[in-house]
Amino acid sequence: MMPELTLVESVRLALEEELDRNDKLIVLGEDVGPNGGVFRATQGLLEKYGPQRVLDTPLSENGIIGFAIGMALMGLKPVAEIQFVDFIYPGFDQLISEAAKFRYRSGGMFTSPLVIRSPYGGGVRGAHYHSQSPEAYFTHTPGLKVVIPSSPYETKGLLTSAMREQDPILFLEPKRLYRAFKEEVPSGDYTIPLGKARIAREGEDVTILAYGAMLHVALEAAELASKNQKIECEVIDLRTLVPLDIIAIENSVKKTGRMISITESPKTSGFSAELSAIVAERWIEYMEGPIMRVTGYDTPFPLSLEQEYLPSAKRTLDTIEKVYNF
């Protein structure tokens, strides 16, 4: 029988197996050593692989990312943890101006295929410095690939793929799902290719595009819509935002004629705006209702009113009805 793992245990297993397979892979970050990471995503790795492969670094995000870029330029495979993605901004320059541009700016001569893993998102009462969803800053940057898993099984397959990519990857882990549920996760070599979405629930009436923690909000809302109003939603787990699986989106919206996306980041210029624009530009003639977004609000991430801020099944259901009854 396959072991049942939480999402964070699945991260750990993916790292461990890839450390085993690839002796050029180095894990680095703050507290990833004896402490095993503040979420325990690297637990036991130092003991097993030693201080040359599992590095506790100085407390410096630009340092971690810049150092990892240097390793990657020289042929190592750094997998760096940014403790919370809310802390990534000092390293933004290194990721945006350096990692994302090395291949292009050097005419393909130099590449820095690092992986940055980082917990993102709300729902854990972390307030604005432990809850953000800044994926749109990164999807707006040519040269980066952005991956966000939604379950333990998905996490291992996607992270393993990410660690074998030739391009720099931002791998955002939905921290509210770290220990939310367990799922069977095979040990050994399996991958989920980047750029391929998955239909998480089939339906004929409304397409819901989601990723990460919001996938589960989408699924919950879809069940409610089915039970209460007999509206059947098709829920798509995008898995990777860049590159995006345009075929999966096309097939679904052409079938349903309605589209909603859910993201927990602020609404203005969020990734959901991109999804809406893609569908509007290409398939407006199939649309039977407005293309709508369920998102966080345009405020810094709150604390006390976190549940009101975050997209919920109720809000999503409300939006499903608006789109369906248009």
Partner 1 sequence: MSMLQILDSSGNNHPELEPNIPERKLVKMFEYMILVRLLDEKGMRLQRQGRISFSIPSTGQEATQIGAVAALNSEDWIFPAYREPGMAFYRGFPLVDLVNHWFINEKDPQKGRRLPGLFGSKKYRYVNPSAPIGTQIIQAAGAGFAYKYLKEKIVNIVFFGDGATSSSDFHSGLNFGAVFKTPTIFFCQNNHWAISVPLSKQTGAASLADKAKGYGLPGIQIDGNDILAVYHAVFEAAKRARAGEGPTFIEAVTYRAGPHTSSDDPTRYRPKKDLEKWLKLDPIKRFEKYLISKKFLKNGQTNKIRSSFDIEINTLIAKAEEYRPPALETLFSDVYSDLPWHLKEQLDEIASLQRRSI
Indicate which residues carry an active-site annotation. Answer: 130
How many C-beta atoms surround the C-beta of residue 230 within 10 A?
A: 8
Which structure tokens are listed for 234?
């098709």
Instruction: Give the span between the Cα atoms of 226 and 232, in whole angstroms.
Output: 5
83 contact partners, CB below 8 Å, separation of at least 6? 29, 30, 31, 37, 38, 118, 119
CA end-to-end span of the chain:
48
Minimum gap (Å) between residue 272 Cβ and partner 1: 17
Nearer of residues 52 and 325 to partner 1, judged by Cβ? 52
Minimum gap (Å) between residue 252 Cβ and partner 1: 16
> In Å, how far from its chain's centre is CA 286?
29
Nearer of residues 26 and 185 to partner 1, judged by Cβ? 26
Instruction: Give the span between the Cα atoms of 159 and 273, in whole angstroms.
Output: 26
Minimum gap (Å) between residue 281 Cβ and partner 1: 11
Q: Are 80 and 121 in contact (CB under 8 A)?
A: no
Instruction: Give the span between the Cα atoms of 258 and 144, in whole angstroms.
Output: 30
263 contact partners, CB below 8 Å, separation of at least 6? 133, 135, 210, 211, 214, 270, 271, 272, 293, 294, 295, 296, 311
Instruction: Give the span between the Cα atoms of 326 and 320, in whole angstroms.
Output: 10
Which DSSP state fits 90?
G
Q: Which residue ranges make up the site for partner 1 (CB under 8 A)?
A: 26, 52, 55, 57-58, 60, 62-63, 66-76, 78, 90, 93-94, 97-98, 102-111, 113, 142-143, 145, 165-167, 195, 242-244, 246
Minimum gap (Å) between residue 82 Cβ and partner 1: 14
Q: DSSP labels for 171-215?
A: EEEEGGGTTT--EE---SS----TT--EEEE--SSEEEEE-TTHH
Nearer of residues 11 and 194 to partner 1, judged by Cβ? 194
Minimum gap (Å) between residue 104 Cβ and partner 1: 5
Minimum gap (Å) between residue 191 Cβ and partner 1: 16
